[in-house]
Amino acid sequence: MTNLPLKGIRVADFTWIGAGSFTTKLLADFGADVIKIESRERLDSLRLSRPFKDGVSGVNRSGYFADRNTSKRSITLNLKHDKGQELARQLIATSDVVANNFTPGTMEKFGLCYDAVRQIKADIVYLAMSMQGATGPHHRYLGYGLTIGALTGLQFLSGLPDREPAGTGTNYPDHIPNPCHAAFATLAALRHRRRTGEGQFIDVAQTEPTVALLGPAVVHHAVNGELSTRSGNQRLPAFPHGVFPCAGEDSWIAIAVHSDAMWGALLGVLGGPAWLREPALSRQDGRVARCTEIDAAIAIETRSWDAQALMDSLQSVGVAAGVVRNAADIVCSDPQLQYRGHWVYLDHAEMGSAIYNAPPFRMSQSGATPVSAAPLLGEHTDDVCREILSLSSVEIETLRCVGALT
């Protein structure tokens, strides 16, 4: 694919685990030559994370790792070795972006902090995305998606009233706010460099994009001095607003009524006892006052419906509704995702044909699928050494023998 928008951009990718790897995946899938620098001594944790293809574990069999590292090349360097560090510097000299998501101080140990890298490539775009940023009293704290969610208040707001914080069931900050903000910042810095010739140091504190998700709770406290608490699926003053049972085992539908007109349309489809049509309940405040009764009555009506049929019926009259899908539904039977070609299958060198997400947006003049499957550990070490670093086979073998290449 020759028309990808980031073709010609090279990224020296020191990131690992979730948010960093997803950031550089977004760049790689749109044409950047992302070279993932790995170590056999300290593996990227995602390589050891479930699910494994066919249930067989292995450093090249993680579906989690594979989905976060499409379209990249992998080399294995020993950054504790002087010659390994020299190879990293040579690679950086040919790169446009250097990316890492280590705790501050880690890249300094390798002699690859921003000031040192800028001496190698003056116009480099240097992305650092630690948990709390490069400065401040907590900048050296270690963190992952779970702890970021806790520190930012996301964990506190997730769950049911009068229950312990439940969280989002996944490392949500790693998947949405942090990689997207980091990728946007990188693209902005590349545009600035193209216009001015100047590089940038991008300091992403992963707590801050996650805080941006909590706008209503922050504003509610700032303006009203009140603390938002866990409310499950309810989002007052919208009501009803929740998940209701449907016919069949573990079958559910989400319904969100944001206006009095929607309430009338909902009753037109569901029917239900006459008291639901009392004048007081035609207004949102009246429904909220009797929310427990109304939720129970709606649940009785939805139990007799097939979830898909009910969603179609409600959508047809302007009521926001969605089937609660599981993974099998999403992969095998979601007509919208299938129409848009969201799922792609790529041939992986060890796992064979495996499923991947396409980029979650489409561009009219560019392809919309990953360029290649995730790399094997160190799969492209020799290729990168020959093509980019201009090393001979003898030199490569020598570096491998002395432990600079692993």
379 & 319 share domain: no
Per-residue pLDDT, 289: 96
Per-residue pLDDT, 274: 97
Hey, which residues are catalytic here? 174
306 & 378 share domain: no
Backbone angles phi and psi of 287, in degrees to 5: -70, -40
319 & 393 share domain: no
What is the strand order of the sheet 33-38 is part of?
73-76, 33-38, 10-13, 97-100, 125-130, 200-205
Q: Would you say residue 198 lies in a domain?
A: yes
* Residue 361: HSE in the Cβ half-sphere, 13 Å Cα cutoff: 5
Per-residue pLDDT, 365: 81
Q: Which of 326, 355, 379 is the last residue of a domain?
A: 326
278 & 351 share domain: no
254: which strand partners? 243, 322
Rounded distance, CA 213 to CA 228, Å? Answer: 14
> Tell me: the pLDDT tens digits for 16-27?
999 999 999 999
Per-residue pLDDT, 1: 59
201: which strand partners? 126
Q: Return the number of other C-beta atoms located less than 10 Å from residue 391's C-beta.
A: 19
CATH of the domain at 297: 3.30.1540.10
Q: Would you say residue 163 lies in a domain?
A: yes
Listed as ranges, residues in the chain with pLDDT below 70 are 1-2, 368
Q: Which of 276, 296, 326 is the last residue of a domain?
A: 326
Rounded distance, CA 310 to CA 243, Å? Answer: 13
Pairing of strands 252-256, 320-323: antiparallel
Per-residue pLDDT, 168: 84
CATH of the domain at 206: 3.40.50.10540
Pairing of strands 10-13, 33-38: parallel
> Tell me: the pLDDT tens digits for 49-86?
999 999 999 999 999 999 999 999 999 999 999 999 99
280 & 354 share domain: no
Per-residue pLDDT, 368: 66
Reference 27, options 141, 212, 183; nearest CA is: 183
Reference 378, options 347, 357, 350; nearest CA is: 350
179 & 291 share domain: no
Per-residue pLDDT, 151: 94
Per-residue pLDDT, 170: 81
Per-residue pLDDT, 217: 93
282 & 133 share domain: no
Rounded distance, CA 26 to CA 371, Å? Answer: 11
Per-residue pLDDT, 162: 86
355 & 257 share domain: no
Rounded distance, CA 109 to CA 92, Å? Answer: 16
139 & 192 share domain: yes
Q: Would you say residue 135 lies in a domain?
A: yes
Rounded distance, CA 24 to CA 27, Å? Answer: 5
User: Which tokens sit at 397?
Assistant: 């073998």
3-state secondary structure string, the chain?
CCCCCCCCCEEEECCCCCHHHHHHHHHHHCCCEEEEEECCCCCCHHHHCCCEHHHCCCCCCEHHHHHHCCCCEEEEECCCCHHHHHHHHHHHHCCCEEEECCCCCHHHHCCCCHHHHHHHCCCCEEEEEECCCCCCCCCCCCCCHHHHHHHHCHHHHCCCCCCCCCCCCCCHHHHCHHHHHHHHHHHHHHHHHHHHCCCEEEEEECHHHHHHHHHHHHHHHHHHCCCCCCCCCCECCECCEEEEECCCCCCEEEEECCCHHHHHHHHHHHCCCHHHHCHHHHCHHHHHHCHHHHHHHHHHHHCCCCHHHHHHHHHHCCCEEEECCCHHHHHHCCHHHHHCCCEEEEEECCCEEEEEECCCCCCCCCCCCCCCCCCCCCCCHHHHHHHCCCCCHHHHHHHHHCCCEC
Q: How many domains does the chain have?
A: 2
For 291, the domain range is 241-326
Q: Would you say residue 85 lies in a domain?
A: yes
288 & 355 share domain: no
